[in-house]
Chain A
Amino acid sequence: DADVTQTPRNRITKTGKRIMLECSQTKGHDRMYWYRQDPGLGLRLIYYSFDVKDINKGEISDGYSVSRQAQAKFSLSLESAIPNQTALYFCATSDLLRGHEQFFGPGTRLTVL
């Protein structure tokens, strides 16, 4: 079984809709991250969380919100989706001692029409 899972894997939605992307992990890591990947831009950090009570904005948090429901679950929400949020979204985890080594989920491909 995969250590970091993401649902859904693919989603097509319309402008203005609310969308939630979910991430679960069985690695027992405290730290969780949400990234988006766009062609030619690499991965950019949206939000990160170092424990259930700790939520921090990344470099591109506008238009997004997150919820850390438990140590193992970290959700990303788009309150009102817009076309330029069309991207590949990745969840990742890491532990305290080796924060540079992050473990990624398989990604969610989101298309906003």
Chain B
Amino acid sequence: DQQVKQNSPSLSVQEGRISILNCDYTNSMFDYFLWYKKYPAEGPTFLISISSIKDKNEDGRFTVFLNKSAKHLSLHIVPSQPGDSAVYFCAAKRIIQGAQKLVFGQGTRLTINP
């Protein structure tokens, strides 16, 4: 049962344009959503997060939007740069038996073309 889904395995965007990565979830108990970025041969690194009580969080070129009625979140990168080429994982947090747990999506490989 995939509670967090990233339906696009890959995305290719021209340098300088906007990159939009999408994520859908099924569990209404998630209270925090996160995006992680992963380069080859490295572990994922935290990028940006949003609480379920908000609908937008911005950090420099990165903005995450949350639409709770649609159970959908997206990550916008503007403008896209070659260094943004990586795999992006969407994750959602919930409390289970008093413990915070993250559920990850499958990942989307973003390629920024010069």
Q: Which of B42, B45, B102, B106 touches A107 (beta carbons < 8 Å)? A: B42
Would A4 and B106 count as touching, CB distance under 8 A?
A: no
Residues in B15-74 with C-beta less than 8 Å from chain A: 32, 34, 36, 41-46, 49
Question: Quick check: B100 and A100 within 8 Å, CB to CB?
Answer: yes
Binary contact readout B80-104 vs A (1 if CB under 8 angstroms, 0 otherwise): 0000000001000100000111101
Q: Indicate if the CB atoms of A42 and B106 lie closer than 8 Å.
A: yes
> Which residues of chain B come closer than 8 Å to A92, judged between CB atoms?
43
Bound-state CA distance A63–B104 (Å) is 21
Q: Measured between alpha carbons, how far is A58 from B101 in the docked complex, in Å?
A: 9
Q: By the criterion CB–CB under 8 Å, are B43 and A42 in contact?
A: no
Closest-by-CB residue of B relative to A50 is B99
Say yes or no: A105-B34 contact (C-beta < 8 A), given A42-B107, A43-B89, A56-B99: no
Chain A residues within an 8 Å CB radius of B100: 94, 99-100
Chain B residues bordering chain A, tally (CB within 8 A): 23
Contact B102 A105 (CB under 8 A): no
Q: Contact: A101 with B104, CB < 8 Å?
A: no
Let me know if B32 and A107 touch, CB within 8 A: no
Is the pair B43, A101 in contact by a Cβ cutoff of 8 Å?
Answer: no
Q: Which residue of A lies closest to B43 (CB)?
A: A104
* Additional A-B contacts beyond A99-B100, A103-B45 (8; CB < 8 A): A40-B9, A42-B6, A45-B102, A92-B43, A94-B100, A104-B36, A106-B41, A107-B42
> What are 23 contact pairs spanning A and B, CB under 8 A?
A41-B106, A42-B106, A42-B107, A43-B44, A44-B104, A48-B101, A58-B101, A90-B43, A90-B44, A99-B93, A100-B49, A100-B93, A101-B34, A101-B46, A103-B46, A104-B36, A104-B44, A104-B45, A106-B41, A106-B42, A106-B43, A107-B41, A107-B43
- Which residues from chain A sit less than 8 Å from chain B, CB to CB? 4, 35, 40-45, 48, 50, 56, 58, 90, 92, 94, 99-107
